[in-house]
Chain A
Amino acid sequence: MSEPQAARLVLGPFNRVEGDLEVALDISDGRVARAEVSSPLYRGFERMLEGRDPRDALVLTPRICGICSISQSAAAAAALGDAMGLRPTRQGAAMTALIHATENVADHLAHFHLFFMPDFARPDYAGKSWHRRAIERFTALEGSAQRSAVEARTRLLHVMGLLAGKWPHTLAIQPGGVTRAPGLSEKARLQATLRSFRRYLEGVVFGGKLEEFAAIASLEGLMRWTHGDAALFLEIAEDLGLETLGRGAGRYLSYGAYALESGPVFAAGVWEGRLKPLDTRGIVEDLTHAWMRGDAAHPWDGATEPDEAMAAPGYSWCKAPRLDGKAFEVGALARQVVDGHPLAVALAGGGVLARVAGRLLELARTQIVMERLAAEIEPGAPYMARGELPHTGRGAGLVEAARGALGHWLRIEGGRIVGYQIIAPTTWNFSPRDGSGMPGPLEAALEGIAVEGPGALAVQHVVRSFDPCMVCTVH
């Protein structure tokens, strides 16, 4: 960020980011004229799955990402279950949801405290009325809020210990449910763990009842929230104009989160100014600007053939997923908008503030759901349904990771995997341009941002508001 005169700025590596990320900015008149987001990492997971026993996906895919490994587990289990024609038992689905929600909540907490807020403690903001408080709370590795968040998160992750054996990388989630049938003592410990986490959220993050935060229905109502670290963020956001910084196109996609027997906890759908049903047949991965060979294809038909020459016009290992030819933003905000929450709908189309507030809103709402799931645990109920893998068949596993829509598309022939395509949330949000030149959501959000003077950190805020998790774009 040191050469504001240059016509082209390359930012990277970003740290406090999962994996590696580079952002190339064409600058004109001190503003971003065009952004190219590049994922400089390729691991080839989709290729190594080919030829294996389909069940191996349960072990291999979580290792795509150590931060959202449960989401990958859940997607792989769902894809296998879809291929087997198997639905988890009621309690199996509920425990999968509880394990998954715990990870997503832990991710939101880590994003806010460890990845996003520390930028406001940087010396660039010296003199701001909130700067001293930001330093005290959010200085990287030292801030008081950071320490308490890491500790609260560690305690929350006891849920993983109790239900999933270990985290990261559990094996407890299977196509028919979970391997761990909790008894009464686990139920009590889970409820105690969640109560303690609520005390932390209400005491520190929100400074008030979760139900009250979850009931906020408008932007004005949100900005009137005066307690906890949430209020410090809102104060900063108002001062720096984060509402309009890095605005999205207002197109959101959600596969629906936490599939219970009764349906998803947060609804599936598409938002383009209004709610529409989701038809995943319209999804295509465009390869024009990816270092990949082949043609644009639906993930059922897609392949992953890396172009070792890294030939132009490619500039990323990331493919460009599109739904009906359009780029979509995914994540907590997208989920909450698609679920129709009035505050999220009011925030739709917004920028940094909307994305971060969407996460806070989801944090509050999800905690309430997790408490319900734990309270409804029935020791003795069946936690796993059994089924047979087809010799030939296919299945899709669509779930919601913390960062947004995650899909696994699995094809089986002769009892082996012949095709495995993964579209991760970061593939959507950080996608390169497509054949028509339409930029990915982050690329679009960066256009027009000032890179000099007081706004020098703006690019950082916008990038981090998407919560990048680059290793998931591995293909």
Chain B
Amino acid sequence: MSQVETFYEVMRKQGITRRSFMKYCSLTASALGLGPAFVPKIAHAMETKPRTPVIWVNGLECTCCSESFIRGAHPLAKDVVLSMISLDYSHTLMAAAGHAAEAALEDTIQKYKGNYILAVEGNPPLNEDGMFCIVGGKPFVEQLRHAAKDAKAIISWGACASYGCVQAASPNPTRATPVHKVITDKPIIKVPGCPPIAEVMTGVITYMLTFDRLPELDRQGRPAMFYGQRIHDKCYRRPHFDAGQFVEAWDDENARKGYCLYKMGCKGPTTYNACSTVRWNEGTSFPIQSGHGCIGCSEDGFWDQGSFYDRLTNIKAFGVEANADQVGLTATGVVGGGVAVHAAISALKRAQKKTQAKVEG
């Protein structure tokens, strides 16, 4: 294998100052939930270790992941990570086109055999021998298999690569298939969400680049540091849920008071993601803050759980007999902790058996 520069050398070449470099190290440490003691460790690692090459490929998708990513959290983090990635192969962002681009991909694979991270945005459609998504005259699934063969690890960006997302929605016309069902012999880290939050993307990739290993994953293969809690757990509207105060219709009085959106179909209680803590667009807001419930876009199969709205308002979530409306009525009539406890327990119950929660008919 040829000589590869260290991260630090690359960053200096990209015009990043020593001061910015140290700032980047401390940003990284805090983004990953590590203490200040880790800053010199990260700095040392980046000064001494050869940088990890990244190949970023796009299959059947909408580029929302790239879009989210290029507006990443801190401009510095984004710059650094982008400059690393651009050195190798990125379908959406690189300068070369056509055959030159394909050659760049091949070069990178050969040069860093067994040592690069393959980041996959989108997924391969398998119907008709993969002819529904063609890259460089070949089905994307071939490019994926080819690039995966010599990869050290794979990142599945977003709901598409992780689970299939909307193009896999019934009847899944193209048989869009998540990456882990096509590539079975490599470590795969899933970063679901449609798209994933930019800070989560930079956080995951920075962790992998810096420490040269996968972050701790949960049983579904998601990084636990970002997907360890439900949106509901840290939602700023949670007190209203606990108090049984719900929005009943779009733009009603309760909506203006910022009440809980559970009865409008919010999936916050069953969705594991960092939206309510990290938030979106540089921490400005997140869907629940905009007055619309969470649709659970980082959960497997979110696109095929019945209608997004219908099932939500009629859902039989609270035990078998009562639905959310009845609980809401009780809640407005009774003051005190009993209802709140009941509601909270029910939500947990609902979380445990979310698949049974479809409305009949």
Where the two chains meet, the residues of A that have a C-beta atom closer than 8 Å to any C-beta of B are: 1-2, 10-20, 22, 40-45, 47-48, 52-53, 55-56, 58-60, 63-67, 69, 114, 118, 122, 139-142, 147, 150-151, 153-154, 157-158, 160-172, 174, 176-181, 306, 308, 310, 317, 382-384, 386, 460, 471
Contact = CB atoms under 8 A, between A and B. Distances in A.
Contact of A308 (B83, B128, B169): B128
Contacts of A163: 290
Contact of A42 (B71, B132, B136): B132
Contacts of A141: 82-83, 86, 93-95
B93 A157 contact: no
Contact of B281 (A45, A151, A160): A160
Nearest to B280: A166
Contacts of A178: 291
B98 A11 contact: yes
A14 to B, nearest CB: 5
A308 B131 CA distance: 8
B66 A150 contact: no
A172 to B, nearest CB: 5
A15 B97 contact: yes
Contact of A169 (B78, B82, B297): B297
B92 A16 contact: yes
Contact of B92 (A15, A42, A306): A15
B281 A161 contact: yes
Interface string B227-252: 00000000000000000000001110
Contacts of B177: none
Interface string B154-196: 0000000000011101111110100000000000000000110
B251 A158 contact: no
Interface in B111-132: 125, 127-128, 131-132
21 contacts: A2-B99, A10-B137, A13-B102, A41-B133, A42-B132, A43-B176, A53-B306, A53-B307, A55-B309, A63-B165, A66-B195, A140-B93, A141-B82, A161-B280, A168-B67, A171-B293, A177-B251, A179-B251, A180-B290, A181-B291, A306-B132
A37 to B, nearest CB: 14
Contacts of A59: 295, 303, 308
A19 B63 contact: yes
B288 interface: yes
B20 to A, nearest CB: 13
B136 A65 contact: no
Contact of A15 (B61, B96, B255, B303): B96
Given A53-B309, A165-B292, A16 B281 contact: no
Given A15-B90, A165-B286, 5 more contacts: A1-B98, A13-B102, A16-B94, A166-B280, A170-B292
B92 A63 contact: no
Contacts, number: 238
Contact of A158 (B90, B134, B282): B282
B173 A47 contact: yes
B63 A67 contact: yes
Nearest to A51: B170
A322 B279 CA distance: 43
Interface residues of B, number: 80
A139 to B, nearest CB: 7
Interface in B250-282: 250-251, 255-256, 275, 279-282
Given A14-B98, A20-B134, A44-B174, A181 B256 contact: yes
Given A41-B60, A59-B295, A168-B64, A139 B195 contact: no
The CB with the most chain B CB atoms within 10 A, among A12, A157, A384, is that of A12
B68 interface: yes
A53 to B, nearest CB: 3
B95 to A, nearest CB: 3
A162 B134 contact: no
B46 interface: no
A1 B307 CA distance: 48
Contact of B101 (A13, A58, A161): A13
B176 A150 contact: no
Contacts of A179: 250-251, 255, 290-292
A151 B74 CA distance: 10
Given A20-B133, A122-B95, A179-B250, A66 B63 contact: yes
Given A15-B92, A153-B71, A310-B131, A174 B64 contact: no
Contacts of A168: 62, 64, 67-68, 195
A48 B250 contact: no
A47 B251 contact: no
Contacts of A63: 62, 64, 165-166, 194
A44 B95 contact: no
A52 B307 contact: yes
B91 interface: yes
A43 to B, nearest CB: 5
B285 interface: yes
Contact of A165 (B96, B165, B171, B285): B285
Contacts of A161: 279-282, 284-285
B310 interface: yes
B66 A66 contact: yes
Nearest to B87: A141
A140 to B, nearest CB: 3
Nearest to A165: B290
A162 B287 CA distance: 10
A162 B282 CA distance: 11
Nearest to A174: B250
A45 B99 CA distance: 30
Contacts of B65: 66
Contacts of A48: 166-167, 169-173
Contacts of A41: 60, 132-134
Contacts of A44: 132, 167, 172-174
B108 interface: no
Nearest to A58: B308
A166 B167 CA distance: 21
Contacts of A171: 287, 290, 292-293, 295
B201 to A, nearest CB: 13
A310 B78 CA distance: 41
A2 B96 CA distance: 13
B62 A66 contact: yes
B64 A170 contact: no
B289 interface: yes
B92 to A, nearest CB: 6
A163 B287 CA distance: 10
Contacts of A158: 281-282, 284
Give the top 8 A-B pairs by smallest Cβ distance, nearest first: A66-B64, A161-B284, A165-B290, A44-B173, A53-B307, A140-B95, A40-B134, A384-B251
A35 to B, nearest CB: 15
A418 to B, nearest CB: 15
Given A47-B171, A56-B307, A158-B282, A176 B250 contact: yes
Nearest to A1: B98
